[in-house]
């Protein structure tokens, strides 16, 4: 098959991948026929860019609508399932169950530790792959660019840590009954939690900003795309695994079932997003191969 | 908007359906034909945007042939949608001409 002029082929980048795969070749043929050997004019470029962005918008809206329909259907099902479990499981079932046998608690804890370790390993890998680029960034005098963001996040972390110290000290010196009656303790606890969330948000913002400044090689970018998806999926799975373990130990059967369903659904959605990330990383590598 | 998405006489989807009414054509042939019978010059982006929507709605479909110059043909629902749109336009045209006192012949 005859290759299109690279200048013309570049115009296709305005369109979403699925569209390019379906219509790309014939669209390029049309542009080539229209141009008849001439260079793409500015008007043509603008018109194609506009049409490509409209196509992206159209697909985004369509995907969002489909996702909303799926989400509303699945959330209805999940709500019905949760409601059914909570209301229909008779209290006698819970009462009749023996205390959690050691192996159940141990298995749930092992699963939690495995998922948490995997998450930590993925985070560590995500950090390690960008270290060389980060070092190059610092050597090129990049520190002033990120100094303010890092200082803000570090400051917020210190404030949140100091704020948490109060409730933690109170926990040591007061009984559970005193704590539950203490308005000051709960206000401090909520304020410290909010500060912690703000600090985390600032760190995320600092890292996101830093990523934009880093010049990552295509291989690293491709790896980062996959690791991002793996970390997100593993983090959600860790949260679900924590609650599965907690409710296993507490022997609260309805909630245990609910969290097992959540764990299974996070596994399914996580693997889907990882597969999508793998496809995206392949595109990054393929684009880098074409650019060479 | 009607389900077929055909609104105005210079709508790219309507022009494409009119062009395909007498047989399959590929992109460049479509653009040339539309320019010839309607005086409307459709750019590649506008043309393929309209083709994409028409294929999605099942009003046109690709035929076999060369991958790079894939011809499209109108489907039976496409013909029906075109006939309906043209009948609507004829009603409006006739009413307008009659009110202006112009000869319909």
Encode pLDDT of B8-19 as tens digits: 667 899 999 999
Residue B64 lies in domain: 12-100
Encode pLDDT of A230-265 as tens digits: 888 888 888 888 888 888 877 778 888 888 888 888
Are B28 and A33 a contacting pair at CB < 8 A? yes
Specify if B3 maps to a domain.
no
Are A51 and B51 a contacting pair at CB < 8 A? no
Tell me the mean pLDDT in the region A58-85: 60
In the prediction, which pLDDT does B54 show?
94
Q: Residue B98 pLDDT > 80, yes or no?
A: yes
The beta-carbon neighbor of B70 closest among A26, A44, A49 is A26
Encode pLDDT of A103-143 as tens digits: 777 888 888 888 888 888 888 888 888 888 888 888 888 88
Q: Residue A228 pLDDT > 80, yes or no?
A: yes
Are A26 and B67 a contacting pair at CB < 8 A? yes
What total of structural domains would you count in chain B? Answer: 1
In the prediction, which pLDDT does B79 show?
93
Nearest chain A residue (CA) to B46 = A51
Within 8 A of B48 by CB-CB distance, chain A residues are 23, 27, 30, 51
Nearest chain A residue (CA) to B42 = A47
Are B43 and A48 a contacting pair at CB < 8 A? yes
Q: CB distance from A37 to chain B under 8 Å?
A: no
- Which structure tokens are listed for A151? 């200082």
The beta-carbon neighbor of B67 closest among A25, A43, A48 is A25
Nearest-neighbour CA in chain A from B83: distance (Å)? 27
Specify if B55 maps to a domain.
yes
Specify if B50 maps to a domain.
yes
In the prediction, which pLDDT does B30 show?
93
Specify if B7 maps to a domain.
no
Would the pTM count as exceeding 0.90? no
Encode pLDDT of B32-85 as tens digits: 999 999 888 888 999 999 999 999 999 999 987 666 788 999 999 999 999 999
Q: In sequence order, what are the residues at sequence separation of 6 or more whose Cβ sits closer than 8 angstroms to the Cβ of residue A219?
A: A285, A288
Q: Residue A80 pLDDT > 80, yes or no?
A: no
Specify if B63 maps to a domain.
yes
In the prediction, which pLDDT does B72 show?
93
pLDDT band at A187 (very low <50, low <70, confident <90, very high): confident
Nearest chain A residue (CA) to B67 = A26
Q: CB distance from A242 to chain B under 8 Å?
A: no
Specify if B2 maps to a domain.
no
Are A48 and B31 a contacting pair at CB < 8 A? no
**DSSP letter assigned to residue B6:** -
Do B71 and B55 touch, CB atoms closer than 8 A?
no
Q: CB distance from A30 to chain B under 8 Å?
A: yes
Encode pLDDT of A6-56 as tens digits: 777 888 889 988 898 888 888 888 888 888 878 888 888 888 999 999 999
Run of H or E including B62? strand B60-62
Specify if B43 maps to a domain.
yes
The string of DSSP letters for chain A reads -PPPPHHHHHHGGGS-HHHHHHHHHHHHHHHHHHHTTSPPPHHHHHHHHHHHHHHHHHHHHHHHHHHHHHHHHHHHHHHHHHHHHHHHS-HHHHHHSPSPPHHHHHHHHHHHHHHHHHHHHHHHHHHHHHHHHHHHHHHTT-HHHHHHHHHHHHHHHHHHHHHHHHHHHHHHHS-HHHHHH-HHHHHHHHHHHHHHHHHHHHHHHHHHHHHHHS---HHHHHHHHHHHHHHHHHHHHHHHHHHHHHHHHHT-HHHHHHHHHHHHHHHHHHHHHHHHHHHHHHHHHHHHHHH-
The beta-carbon neighbor of A30 closest among B27, B52, B67 is B27
pLDDT band at A92 (very low <50, low <70, confident <90, very high): very low
Within 8 A of A38 by CB-CB distance, chain B residues are none
- Which structure tokens are listed for A116? 């948490």
The beta-carbon neighbor of A48 closest among B26, B44, B68 is B44
Encode pLDDT of A270-290 as tens digits: 888 899 889 888 888 888 776
The string of DSSP letters for A142-153 reads -HHHHHHHHHHH
Q: Residue B95 pLDDT > 70, yes or no?
A: yes
Cα angle at A262 between A257 and A267, to 5 degrees?
A: 125
Specify if B66 maps to a domain.
yes
The beta-carbon neighbor of A31 closest among B44, B46, B70 is B44
B42: domain CATH number is 1.10.10.10
């Amino acid at each position: 098959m005859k290759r299109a002029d690279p200048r013309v082929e570049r115009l296709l980048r305005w369109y979403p991948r699925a569209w390019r795969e379906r219509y790309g070749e014939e669209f390029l043929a049309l542009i080539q026929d229209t141009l008849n050997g001439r260079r793409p004019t500015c008007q043509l470029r603008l018109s194609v860019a506009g049409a490509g962005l409209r196509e992206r918008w159209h697909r985004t809206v369509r995907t969002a609508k489909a996702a909303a329909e799926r989400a509303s259907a699945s959330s209805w099902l999940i709500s019905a399932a949760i409601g059914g479990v909570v209301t229909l499981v008779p209290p006698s079932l819970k009462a009749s169950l023996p205390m959690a046998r050691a192996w159940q608690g141990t298995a749930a804890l092992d699963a939690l530790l495995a998922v948490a370790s995997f998450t930590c390993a993925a985070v560590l890998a995500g950090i390690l792959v960008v270290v060389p680029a980060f070092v190059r960034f610092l050597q090129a005098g990049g520190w002033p660019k990120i100094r303010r963001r890092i200082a803000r996040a570090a400051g917020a972390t210190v404030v949140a840590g100091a704020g948490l110290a109060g409730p933690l000290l109170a926990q040591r010196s007061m009984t559970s009954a005193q704590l539950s009656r203490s308005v000051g303790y709960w206000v401090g606890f909520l304020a410290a939690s909010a500060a912690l969330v703000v600090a985390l948000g600032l760190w995320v913002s600092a890292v996101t900003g830093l990523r934009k400044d880093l010049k990552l090689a295509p291989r690293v970018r491709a790896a980062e795309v996959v690791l991002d998806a793996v970390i997100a999926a593993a983090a959600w799975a860790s949260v679900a695994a924590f609650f599965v373990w907690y409710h296993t130990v507490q022997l609260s059967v309805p909630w245990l079932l609910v969290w097992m369903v959540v764990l299974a659904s996070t596994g399914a959605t996580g693997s889907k997003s990882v597969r999508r990330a793998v496809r995206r990383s392949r595109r990054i590598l393929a684009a880098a191969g074409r650019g060479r | 908007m009607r389900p077929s998405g055909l609104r105005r006489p210079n709508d790219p989807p309507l022009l494409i359906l009119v062009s395909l009414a007498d047989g399959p054509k590929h992109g460049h042939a479509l653009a040339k034909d539309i320019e010839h019978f309607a005086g409307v010059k459709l750019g590649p982006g506008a043309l393929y945007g309209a083709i994409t929507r028409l294929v999605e709605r099942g009003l046109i479909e690709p035929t076999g042939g060369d991958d790079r110059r894939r011809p499209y043909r109108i489907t039976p629902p496409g013909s029906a949608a075109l006939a309906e749109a043209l009948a609507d336009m004829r009603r409006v045209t006739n009413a307008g001409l009659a009110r202006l006192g112009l000869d319909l012949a």
